[in-house]
Structures are given as structure tokens and as C-alpha cells.
Amino acid sequence: MSEFLQHLVNMLVLGGTYALLGIGLTLIFGIMNVVNFTHGVLYTFGAYIMFIVVQQLGLNFFLALPVAVLAGWLLGAAIELTLLRPLRGSDIDTTMLVMIGAWIAMQSGALWIWGGVAKSVTTPFPEAPLVLGPVSVSWLRLFVLAAAALLILVTYLLINRTSLGRAMRATFQDHDTAALMGVNVDMIYTSTFAIGSSLAAAAGALLGPVYVIFPQMGDLAAVKAFAIVILGGLGNITGAVIGGFILALAEELGAGYVSSGYRDAMGFLIIIAVLIFKPTGLFARAERVG
């Protein structure tokens, strides 16, 4: 039983960052209909920003997170403006391949700049974990959970309580009508991509210090983000949050009770099962056609 509780605690920590990854991708996927393969690179990028700020510049650990968010936002906006805006109106396969090209180029760039050796970040948190009865959790992981929860809340408020968010939701429902109503769709697309990218960078900056940082760390993160998006339904933010936690739970239980080697497989098996039995995702709203 205590082992199960421990898995639940781990699930909460992992699920928070997975949710961040998923929200970013589901916004881009849902609103722009772009299969964003650079999402994993942005995750990697966020982790390296953490490394640069803390290890190379010697600045405060807590300062690194907002820097990573901002850097992710800028890089996302740059990608959207240079690569996606000229291709507006192309089919989904074309933009997807352009994103794949950008992913390969940027990941190789990371390898070129920082090398293949894994990096780690020293954190200001004590080594000794917080012990609560049968479960223990490190202070770093608690911080990761709290920061992820905060970012999820901010994103939720941004989408549901601001005029930018309303314009984004309108564009998601029908971009032509939104444009007729005076929404600057080009600006919405750039903002969406920038916000999604900044969330991916935040997830990387948060999980980077928990694990290690290396150029290919984003690949699996990207595939998992896609899984979360499918699990939650396209463009569905609440679905992405729940999907993130479900994936984390599946991985924790799979690693704990089956074999740690199959940790990553569990998530995929669940996804295959979901798609067989409930193909539109667990929390699907009506999907936009066309």
C-alpha cells in the first residue's frame, strides 16, 4: 500500500510537467492544425537555458525558470514567423515536415553547441527528502510540482479570462469566422505558437534538474506530448492536464509493478488501447472538421 502511495506521489510530480508539455502542444495542434515536431526541441532548449543560467552564469535557480519561459516564447515566435507564416494554407503534411526539418536542424545545433555529454544542474534544495508517513518526496520535485501547477493555472486564466484567450478560442472554433469578426488570426497563430513553446521550455527547465540534460532529451518528451494530446482530445486544455496525469500514472505503475524497462511502453500501450476503444480521446469535444 505504501508503495502504491509513493507511486501516486511520483505521478503527481511527473504529471504536472507532462501536463505543461501537453497543454502547449494541444494549443498548437488544436488552433493551428500544425503537428509541431519542434516541441521536444523547445523542451530541450528550456533545460539548457536552466543549465546556462544556473551553472554557467551562476545566477539564481529561481530566476532561471522565468528566463526559460521567456526564451521559449521568443524562439517559438521566431519559428512561427519564419517557417509557419509563409506556409499558411499548406496542407498538414507540408507544415509537419517543415517542423521535422527544424527539429533535426535545431537538435543538431544543440549537439554542436553543448556536446553530447549529459549535463546536470545543482539546485538550492536540501538533499534529504521530505518524509510524510509512508511516502517521501524530494524538495526539488515538490518545487517542480508547485511551479507546474502555477503555470497551468496561469495558462488556464490566459485562455479563459483574457481577450487574447477569447480570440484564441474563437480561432480554434472557426478561424474564418474569427477573422471576419476582426480577430487578427496571424497574430493569434504567432501568440499560440509562442505560448505553447514557452510551456514546453518551462517543462524542460523544470525536469532538466530532476534528471540530466542532453540534446536528445526532447525526443521522447515530444512523443509523450503527442500521446497526452491524443488522450485528452485535440485543443482540449483540461483534457491535456488529465491526460498528462494519466500518462504519468500509467508510467509509474508500469515501472513499479511490471518492469522499469517498460516504463515508457506503458504509456504507449494505454494510448493504443484508448484509441481502439475511444478513438476521439477520453474527453473529446466535437472536433473541427476540415
**Contact pick of 42, 226, 240, 250 for another protein (by CB under 8 A):** 226
The number of residues that bind another protein (CB under 8 A) is 43
Q: How far apart (Å, rounded) are the C-alpha atoms in residues 206 and 199? A: 10
**Contact pick of 78, 142, 164, 223 for another protein (by CB under 8 A):** 223
Q: How far apart (Å, rounded) are the C-alpha atoms in residues 240 and 203? A: 14
**Any residues with CB less than 8 A from the CB of 161 and at least 6 apart, and which?**
none
Helices (H), 162-216: 163-173, 175-180, 185-207
Q: Is residue 89 involved in binding another protein (CB under 8 A)? A: yes
Task: Give me the 239-268 binding string for another protein, x by CB under 8 A, dash otherwise.
Answer: --------------------x-xx-xx--x
Q: How far apart are the first and last CA of the chain?
A: 48
- For residue 119, list its beta bridge partners: 213
Closer Cβ to another protein, 64 or 228, answer by number: 228
Task: Give me the 178-217 binding string for another protein, x by CB under 8 A, dash otherwise.
Answer: ----------------------------------------
Select from 70-78, 90-98, 174-182, 197-205 the region that touches another protein (CB under 8 A): 90-98
Phi/psi for 217 (5° steps) reads -60, -25
Select from 87-95, 139-147, 176-184, 195-203 the region that touches another protein (CB under 8 A): 87-95
Closest of 223, 187, 169 to residue 80, by C-alpha: 187
SS3 of the chain: helix, strand, coil, percent, to 5: 75, 5, 20
Q: Is residue 283 involved in binding another protein (CB under 8 A)? A: no
Q: Is residue 284 involved in binding another protein (CB under 8 A)? A: no
Among positions 91-120, residues that touch another protein (CB under 8 A) are 91, 93-94, 97-98, 100-109, 111-112
- Sign, CA dihedral 181-186-188-189, equals positive
Q: Is residue 58 involved in binding another protein (CB under 8 A)? A: no
Residue 27, sorted as left (phi over 0), alpha (psi -120 to 50) or beta, turns out to be: alpha
Closer Cβ to another protein, 151 or 228, answer by number: 228
User: Which residues make up the interface to another protein (CB under 8 A)?
Assistant: 29, 35, 83, 86-87, 89-91, 93-94, 97-98, 100-109, 111-112, 219, 223, 226-227, 230, 234, 259, 261-262, 264-265, 268-269, 271-272, 275-276, 279-280
